[in-house]
Structure 1
């Protein structure tokens, strides 16, 4: 679990005070990885206090994080600084938070990040790392994984060393998000809840978080009441609770298939989950029915036919990626999932998208 978390509007202003005791020495910098959407945005950047050898790196979130990107960042940091950094601070959405977690891990573990894609392969604790979400829904701020697209697969570095040491939850930072992006990342949270609450890994701990997040999602996306500030506050907490729910259970069919889309087509995670989930009545009938109502209520038009021109080799690549996520299928279907989740079954599902 994340060992320290602070919540509240304006709490981002406390960042300098929070990390100051963690500085190792004047030559051990804090490295800030910041979504480049904030480049030139003094409202946020003026509140980041750089000192000594500290470095602020603006990174585009247009593409989801890759293992090569992580390795390049780690190499850049090592070459530019003689001392190991005091900490990594990620500021942004799921992409930046996953990058921050992965870089913090790879500064203390040998080899390439692709070597650690999987479950519990990390041997050494990461350096101190802080997560500050600027969009709500992904749950990356609380999860024990950092999802990366590698040369052979899209898969997270899942370990007890991955979670942030400190998270700052400031709903003010989510102001100004485009409506479509707000919906897609919000639905990522909703789908987390559906897959957790309907999975075989469900337990009382994950259920308590999942149910709370599910109810918050319904309030936000169905009732559509309250001020913008209230909606921001609720979605930030839904994201946290949804992330906690899957941290103690697992996701399911939508995420497994979405990883295939992301690996082959570069489909962003949030919208990919929505495209997949829209076709999963067979697995999550109540959740999909509610999702379709939310989609209509907010006037969201999902892309159609993204798999219509793919060939056999391309379908097989997506199917291989999806089938490699065995814990997701076991959670969704049960230990005997291979009896029903065949390559033909997955091909038919992809062909509907």
Structure 2
């Protein structure tokens, strides 16, 4: 048996107000006066002095506001890398991503592509990265995606929607400050929280499950229930819990894998641009056959929080569009194997996926 030697985030700070320590954390990592820190920040914080005033820029440091309206693409990563290389004589001291899953994934990908040749689409897959990324830091401002802890960066490329899954992807440093999540809109909070919940269900019901994944997955699931079913605690306590649920949920899939909902959600995301958290919810709503208890509880949480999911996303699609989504979903082989076992191709047919997409 060959066990995976899995890389973890080597340093993490947790606590309300811990974002204030960002500058102290970065100072010893500066390579020289010409090697800047590049801050990639979700543009919802543009003009938000509460957050931006705490980022100290020195020398050639750069703060780039980036929209998270669209999920990250390989071409966006390549453009950012080119821009950084052209604007600075020295390679940056580090990339700091501040935002939700989109910004965190983008930051991880940029850090990798600053040291690896070619285009980011060449690295979509498993263990294709050969050179360590530059120093990169993640600061989540929304909880649930697990992007702050995972070894993948989900990118939509010209041919597929697939992450750069590698040992060099995880952040070197993460700052978990639950206070940064205080202004997340309710529906966004729910969809991203459900991304975390679905990570746990898929990990805990998967064939790849082991005691390592299980211990993290069970803790995360327990926290999700406290937050979304019981509403246990003050608003601040719930923010703290969801940040930890996200971390544990991300750790749970680190040593195992996600499953059916994520595979199908990638198809929706690739063809229709459906945001990842929302896409997972739309798909998961129809997966009773695979995750009966998980889906029943999901429907209950949806009801508790008055969430109404979009319907009929696939009602006007033609044959080619369905086939594109099915191709993207079927390409996620490790996810299907985790969900269904080694013989998954016997049950997961194109017709089966077509019928599932038609319900959405």
Q: TM-score over 0.5 for the alignment?
A: yes
2:105 aligned residue: 98
Match of residue 152, structure 1, among 146, 153, 159: 159
The offset of 1:96, in angstroms, is: 0.2
* TM-score (normalised: structure 1): 1.00
Note the alpha carbon deviations across 1:96-127, whole angstroms, 9 max, x for none.
00000000000000000000000000000000
Partner of 1:234: 241
Distance 2:17 2:68 in 1: 24
- Is 1:304 matched with 2:311? yes
The answer to whether the aligner puts 1:136 opposite 2:139 as a matched pair is: no
Separation (CA, whole Å) in 2 of partners of 1:200 and 1:269:
23
> Residues 39-63 of structure 1, C-alpha deviation per residue, up to 9 Å, x if partnerless?
0000000000000000000000000
Alignment match of 1:185 (pick from 182, 188, 192): 192
Alignment match, 1:26: 33
CA-atom RMSD, angstroms? 0.3
SS in 2 for 1:294: helix
Counterparts of 1:314 and 1:43, CA distance in 2: 44
CA distance in 1, matches of 2:71, 2:324: 18
The residue correspondences of 1:222-301 to structure 2 (distance < 5 A) are 222-301=229-308
The residue that corresponds to 2:59 in the other structure is 52
Counting only pairs closer than 5 Å after superposition, residues 109-128 of structure 1 correspond to structure 2 as 109-128=116-135
Does residue 169 (structure 1) correspond to residue 176 (structure 2)? The answer is yes
* Cα distance in 1, alignment partners of residues 249 and 200 from structure 2: 6
Equivalent residue pairs, number: 353
- 1:270 is displaced (CA, Å) by 0.3
Q: Distance in 1 between matches of 2:219 and 2:263?
A: 24
**In 1: Cα distance, 2:255 partner to 2:296 partner:** 26
In structure 1, the residue corresponding to 2:201 is in which secondary structure?
A: helix
Deviation at 1:313, TM superposition (A): 0.3
- Following TM superposition, by how much is the alpha carbon of 1:225 offset from its aligned partner in structure 2, in angstroms? 2.6
CA distance in 1, matches of 2:238, 2:211: 27
1:194 partnered with 2:201: yes
Secondary structure at 2:158's aligned position in 1? coil
Q: SS of the counterpart of 2:65?
A: strand
Task: Indicate whether 1:319 and 2:326 are aligned.
Answer: yes
Give CA deviations for 1:212-257 in whole Å, capped at 9, x if unaligned: 0000000000001311000000000000000000011000000000
Q: Distance in 2 between matches of 1:166 and 1:65?
A: 21
Unaligned runs of 5+ residues in structure 2 are 1-7
Range moving further from structure 2, 190-199 or 221-230: 221-230
Give me the whole-angstrom Cα distance separating, in 2, the residues matched to 1:121 and 1:225: 43
Q: Does 1:4 align with 2:11?
A: yes
Unaligned runs of 5+ in 1: none
Answering whether residue 348 of structure 2 is matched by residue 341 of structure 1, we say: yes
**Matches of 1:87 and 1:138, distance apart in 2:** 22
- Give 3-state SS (helix, strand or coil) of 2:163's partner: strand
Matches within 5 A, 1:70-89: 70-89=77-96
Distance, in Å, in 1 between the alignment partners of 2:210 and 2:29 is 36
1:39 aligns with 2:46: yes
Partner Cα distance (2:343, 2:98) in 1: 41
